[in-house]
Chains A and B, each alone.
Chain A
């Protein structure tokens, strides 16, 4: 039986790269990503799991990185906004966000991209209601959500390959 420890070694895959580090048990995944790995695209807005700014994909599913400790991620795969951005240019979803001006200050945007990515993987033709529900756990203080919903609908249409309706 392993004794509980204040620092542990972890090995995880982040945006396709294998990372091995020793970390304090109490270090959140959010802080680990931002400070230890320099992946500052994931943002921290509340640290109590409500605002969604810190949302990343863990083993392919959205999760709040402020509510995970890095030590829990040993053996896991994490994808952040950096991993959802192609090496050149922007993804179709990101392009739709730009075309629709689906951000203003940009602080909520990485989290919005993560949950939108997940939504479109599960539901390639989401209704405006379904989009709003999927985004319902991510706070935005700037846009009033209108353009974000439009962007996701437009991205869905673009990914389906057809001409889409705007919401």
Chain B
């Protein structure tokens, strides 16, 4: 299958990229990693008149540790770079873990963080991780730059807050604690998940008591990542981190989602997985929290 005829440009700076985007009055698509876009181009599911290749724009592929423990990550950072970056592994290991689960090495060499976020596949790992982090996304358009928090960025099925003339350029991840968990079910390693859950739990420094913070986000269980607020409340309540509490939180997570059904899994099964994987991710996070406590 071959794509429709399109015109291609490879701007050498961000201003030109934004200018090209604004100037295109037909369908225009931004090419980053291409691992999701090009199959759709080849299948003629996407039919742009203009393709803007962002890979020539400098400064979009940095991983910059923040002063207080967070990270600033350029949108063109490849999944392989995320997975292998010492700074990411140290400061946001959930992100590295999520990136490791994407496809296969050849996909990870090209696929980008920004591309995955802009594509907003509901079964993708990275959007859920960013929502769990409380990350901020920086969008750049003709009117300059603006920030938007991750949950507001994902609007619906493969729909984001990106305006037609905006480019996602940077992601800011706040400092993270050690209590993280990641669990997904796939048909084959590297496939899109049938369902998955990321968990971030925090306790007051040095304590072994109740969790003071919990972020539990499911992917593949809705038209966008689903924050399991009810489950989070249970986890941060007294006894939330006991077996019973975790099980109740898992049930709450399942009840909180309205998953899609498709050839790979029904809504019921995905809802069931939301519970199972919530429990698994939460237990991982608790284990890591315990391990990180000073002796």
Contacts and interface: CB of A to CB of B under 8 A. Distances in A.
- Name the residue among B19, B20, B106, B107 with the largest chain A CB count within 10 angstroms: B106
Interface string B197-222: 00000000000000000000000000
B38 interface: yes
Contacts of A138: 104
B157 interface: no
B39 interface: yes
Interface string A23-63: 00110100000000000000000011100100100100111
B16 A1 contact: yes
Interface stretch (A68-76, A89-97, A98-106, A151-159): A68-76
B148 interface: no
B7 A6 contact: yes
A63 B190 contact: no
Nearest to A69: B8
A146 interface: no
Main secondary structure of the interface of B (DSSP, over half): mixed
A163 interface: no
A18 interface: no
B5 interface: yes
Interface residues of A, number: 34
Contacts of B38: 49, 66-69
Nearest to A67: B38
A15 to B, nearest CB: 18
A83 interface: no
Contacts of B109: 58, 61-63
Interface stretch (B51-59, B267-275, B282-290): B51-59
Contacts of A67: 34-35, 38-39, 110
A115 B3 contact: no
B187 interface: no
A26 B53 CA distance: 13
B191 to A, nearest CB: 9
Interface string A119-139: 000000000000001101110
Nearest to B41: A26
Nearest to A75: B56
A25 B2 CA distance: 11
A134 B6 CA distance: 34
B42 A63 contact: no
B11 A2 contact: yes
A5 B106 contact: no
A107 B2 CA distance: 21
A64 B106 contact: yes
Contacts of B2: 26, 28
A133 B1 CA distance: 29
Interface string B95-116: 0000000011111011000000
Interface of B: 1-11, 16, 19-20, 24, 31, 34-35, 38-39, 41-43, 50-53, 55, 80, 103-107, 109-110, 188-190
Q: Which 6 A-B pairs have the closest CB atoms?
A: A137-B104, A4-B7, A25-B8, A4-B9, A48-B39, A62-B106
